Amino acid sequence: MPSSASNNWLQTLPADFYDQLAHCLSLHGMACLELLSRSQDASIRQLVTLTGLTTEQVTKLNTIASHEQLLQTLESQPRPLYDLLLLGRLALDTSLAEPVMAYVRRQMSIGIAQMQQLKTYCQELSGAFLATLEQQLPAEMLLGLHRLRVEEVFQAYVAAHPAPAPMAATIRFSEAQLQMVRLALLLVHSLPEAGDHAFLRAVAAMPNLQPAALEPMIERLGKLQAAEELPLSLAELVQLYQAMQVCGMVFVSEVLERLGLEGLFPARPAEEVSAPVPSHRQAVGEMVSGFTRWVQHTFPQEPALLAARQQVLALADWL
């Protein structure tokens, strides 16, 4: 334990310092716990060895609720608090922070922009406080060298777990729209096995629409509920856009019947045939065009979507 003489700097902390640090400590603590929960990973185990931190310690440190308790912790166990802030700060700049940020947003009822402002404030405060601790704590702790070792191991973890692609859009489908998108993906997934036809070969040659490429999105949509948020990367949005376009082309042409695929979709009940409602083809066409128009309007100059549109238009030559 550091001597009381070496802790004189604690008395220079402003009386409201805990109030400034409270959100920072909480956010960094949750991010640290998220990191420690991945202890099956070799790099995370190495970080645990380097810091000696346990989930129990982090949980206890997150119960600090006053300036006096903060001072007591800094006097009796400064190193665990230092490591909590260090690991939490590193984790907040990775995808590990996503569940933490989502939880805090719900708890505080704040938007994405406000959450980002809070994160930036906490990161700036923790960066300054870590530098203060490195200056004030005993030199034999070698905190500067310790930080470099921790950061090196953490970078190895990040390199082995690349960040997911950034989200381009978040969509909420109605029940009918969700069923339509599921149908489109399943239809396109089935096309390569439907027969030997120039149109089918052209679709199968599109990287985004090959069966193996479609299966992750089919699985996601299978679990999605109507009106639930569906975050999409640009690559995923392009895939849905192309699948919907291909589905629309199949339905508005004679391909469905020529390929013997009409049996994949239920016919309207006999009592509904005379009812004044749109046909299946009309309904499909309207939903496909509605979705694709929205994509084109939202991303009018996005190169990936412009290229995707040209690829789909080229398929018309094979119908």
Domain boundaries, the chain: 5-160, 167-318
| pLDDT of 259 strictly over 90 | no
Q: What is the pLDDT of residue 49?
A: 95
Categorize the per-residue pLDDT at 263 as very low, low, confident or very high, splitting at 50, 70 and 90.
low
Phi, psi of 118 (to 5 degrees): -65, -45
Q: What is the pLDDT of residue 198?
A: 82
> For residue 77, what are its two tokens?
């166990």
Average pLDDT over residues 127-147: 91
More confident residue, 149 or 288: 149
Q: Quote helix, strand, coil % in the chain, to nearest 5.
A: 75, 5, 25
Contact predicate 47/35, CB 8 Å: yes
Q: What is the pLDDT of residue 274?
A: 46
Contact predicate 260/194, CB 8 Å: yes
| pLDDT of 4 strictly over 60 | no
| pLDDT of 132 strictly over 50 | yes
> For residue 134, what are its two tokens?
């490195």
More confident residue, 315 or 261: 315
Question: pTM score, two decimals?
Answer: 0.59
Q: What is the pLDDT of residue 248?
A: 87
User: What's the whole-number average pLDDT of the chain?
Assistant: 86
Q: What is the pLDDT of residue 192?
A: 78
Categorize the per-residue pLDDT at 260 as very low, low, confident or very high, splitting at 50, 70 and 90.
low
Instruction: Identify which of 71, 80, 68 has the alpha carbon closest to the alpha carbon of residue 141.
Output: 80
Give the chain's count of helices (H) and strands (E): 15, 2
3 state SS of 168: strand
More confident residue, 257 or 54: 54
Categorize the per-residue pLDDT at 141 as very low, low, confident or very high, splitting at 50, 70 and 90.
confident
Helix intervals (H) in 92-140? 97-108, 112-136
Instruction: Identify which of 146, 166, 43, 35 has the alpha carbon closest to the alpha carbon of residue 97.
Output: 35
Q: For residue 171, what are the β-bridge partners?
A: 230
> For residue 109, what are its two tokens?
């009822």
Q: How far apart are the first and last CA of the chain?
A: 79
What gap in Å lies between CA 53 and CA 310, rounded to an integer? 54
